[in-house]
């Protein structure tokens, strides 16, 4: 059974209340009437009306002041607000609209007109609410500007829930966050912790944060602080080992004269060399390895030092940005990227900015009746009025003359 929407009406004139209540009831609405704005303010939180109508000219409080007090109450600040007034001056209407009032109805009015306007406003609100829930709330960026640690810390700071999708070359990974806490990490068929550690060293590629409620199995029991501290240690070891290597984007191959000496290698080293095809970068080998990334990186470093692996002369890959060093576990670069970083973090923490945007859109939609009236009024002006349109250069010339 649909919930009956509540309309709160404040007016010291009660002559029309009975007929309005009857028409609203027939349309499926409940009318709550008060003749004192102060009393209405005291109970408005508990009433939680879907729409508010108020006379502008109240004896104890100015209607515009009453409107601003209502909009300061979080529980009802988004409810459409309609003014009633016997004043017909255009400047009064403009003042009301500038405050953000959704509609203004001039007395005397037809009851049917008021009901129709209420239905229009509430229908617009319903459509905007649907749009709000259907809206893909997410943020996309570059891992060179904002790394996984920073993304997790940002979501934790705002106690946000969502899915972090990471992409590096042809590899993809996913991190699940519930109310700021890491609950799972998925990459290929790796265990959650190992998958998470591998993604922590990605300093290039892209991310997409999908801001949604998470109904997902918790597979990581450690808290964020523990996991991030482990990640920082992991990154430090990673950087220490790779200092002895060329760029991780370097294509590697096996030195021909060393192939016959493979018997001195471990089975893992033999398999690693066996699977090389001359087109893989160091990082490709790591990502394709069944062993932990630090272990694989260490073995590759040893094979380079022993002379088994060399840089390929047939580098078929386009050079890409190497996996950079990390400072204190936080990735990023100076310059313009820091501005992008701040913008993305602010966007995630202020998720309600999207709601503000929807509210602004609602205001625009709700004011269309006023704009139509203004449009009609302008059309009625003399069509013989001569208008002169100036381009930007002409306006600048006039400005110089005036100065």
Helices and strands (DSSP H and E) totals, the chain: 15, 12
- pLDDT category, 88, cuts 50, 70, 90? low
Looking at the predicted structure, is the pLDDT value of residue 317 above 80?
A: no
Higher confidence at residue 393 or residue 30? 30
Q: Is the pLDDT of residue 228 over 70?
A: yes
Q: What is the per-residue pLDDT across 352-387, written as a single tens digit (0 to 9) for each?
A: 444 455 555 555 554 554 454 444 444 444 443 444
Q: How confident is the model at residue 333 (pLDDT cuts 50, 70, 90)?
A: very low
Q: Name the residue with higher pLDDT: 186 or 337.
A: 186
Report whether pLDDT(391) > 70: no
Q: How many C-beta atoms lie closer than 10 Å to residue 394's C-beta?
A: 11
Instruction: Out of 186-195, 222-231, 394-403, pick the least confident.
Output: 394-403
CA distances from 349 to 92, 138, 207, 332 (A): 39, 12, 16, 19
Q: How confident is the model at residue 343 (pLDDT cuts 50, 70, 90)?
A: low
Which residues make beta-bridge pairs with 175?
A: 164, 185
What are 256-285's pLDDT values in tens digits?
756 656 667 888 888 888 888 878 888 888
SS3 of residue 166 by DSSP = strand
Do β-strands 309-311 and 252-254 pair in parallel, antiparallel, or remain unpaired?
antiparallel
Residue 254 above 70 pLDDT?
yes
- The beta strands (E) that lie in 328-399 are given as none
CATH fold label, 1-135+352-403: Rossmann fold (3.40.50)
Find the mean pLDDT for residues 327-352: 54
- Backbone φ, ψ for residue 49 (5° rounding): -70, 150
Instruction: State the average pLDDT over residues 241-256.
Output: 84
The pLDDT > 90 percentage for the chain reads 31
Domain ranges of the chain: 1-135+352-403, 138-236+333-350, 250-311
Closest CA to 182 of 204, 162, 198: 162
Counted residue by residue, the chain has a size of 403
Give the chain's mean pLDDT: 78
Are 304 and 245 spatial neighbours (Cβ–Cβ below 8 Å)? yes
Is 402 a residue whose pLDDT tops 70?
Answer: no
Percentage of residues in the chain having pLDDT higher than 70: 71
Q: What does the pLDDT read at residue 324? A: 45
- Evaluate if residue 44 carries a pLDDT over 80: yes
pLDDT at 314 over 70: no
pLDDT tens string 101-121: 888 898 889 999 999 999 999
The H-or-E segment that residue 263 falls in is none
pLDDT value of residue 348: 63
d(CA 254, CA 235): 27
Residue 77 reports pLDDT greater than 60 = yes
CA gap 198, 14 in Å, rounded: 70
| Cα-only R_g, the chain | 33
């Amino acid at each position: 059974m649909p919930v009956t929407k509540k309309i709160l009406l404040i007016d010291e004139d009660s002559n029309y209340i009975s007929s309005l209540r009857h028409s609203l009831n027939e349309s499926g609405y409940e009318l709550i009437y008060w003749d004192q704005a102060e009393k209405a303010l005291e109970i408005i939180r508990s009433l939680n009306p879907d729409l508010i109508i108020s006379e502008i000219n109240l004896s104890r409080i100015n209607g515009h002041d009453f409107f601003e007090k209502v909009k300061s109450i979080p529980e009802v600040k988004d409810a459409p607000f309609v003014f009633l007034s016997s004043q017909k001056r255009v400047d009064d209407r403009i003042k009301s609209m500038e405050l953000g009032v959704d509609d203004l109805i001039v007395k005397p009015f037809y009851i049917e007109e008021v009901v129709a306007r209420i239905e229009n406003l509430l229908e617009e609100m319903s459509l905007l609410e649907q749009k709000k829930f259907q809206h893909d709330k997410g943020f996309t960026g570059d891992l060179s500007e904002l790394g996984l640690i920073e993304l997790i810390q940002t979501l934790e700071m705002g106690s946000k829930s969502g899915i972090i999708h990471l992409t590096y070359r042809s590899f993809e990974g996913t991190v699940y966050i519930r109310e700021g806490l890491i609950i799972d990490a998925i990459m290929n068929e790796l265990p959650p912790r190992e998958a998470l550690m591998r993604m922590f060293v990605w300093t290039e590629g892209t991310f997409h944060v999908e801001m949604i409620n998470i109904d997902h199995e918790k597979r990581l029991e450690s808290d964020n602080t523990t996991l991030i501290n482990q990640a920082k240690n992991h990154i430090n070891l990673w950087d220490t080992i790779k200092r002895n290597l060329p760029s991780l984007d370097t294509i590697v191959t096996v030195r021909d004269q060393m192939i016959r000496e493979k018997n001195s290698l471990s089975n893992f080293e033999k398999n690693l060399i066996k699977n090389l095809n001359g087109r893989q970068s160091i990082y490709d080998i790591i990502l394709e390895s069944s062993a932990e990334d630090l272990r694989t990186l260490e073995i590759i470093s040893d094979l380079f030092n022993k002379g088994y692996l060399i840089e390929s002369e047939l580098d078929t890959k386009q050079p890409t940005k190497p996996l950079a060093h990390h400072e204190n576990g936080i990735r990023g670069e100076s310059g313009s990227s820091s501005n992008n970083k701040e913008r993305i973090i602010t966007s995630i923490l202020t998720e309600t900015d999207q709601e503000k945007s929807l509210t602004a859109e609602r205001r625009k939609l709700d004011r269309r009746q006023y704009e139509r009236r203004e449009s009609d009024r302008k059309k009625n002006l003399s069509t013989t009025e001569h208008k002169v349109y100036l381009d930007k250069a002409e306006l600048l010339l006039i400005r110089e003359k005036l100065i």
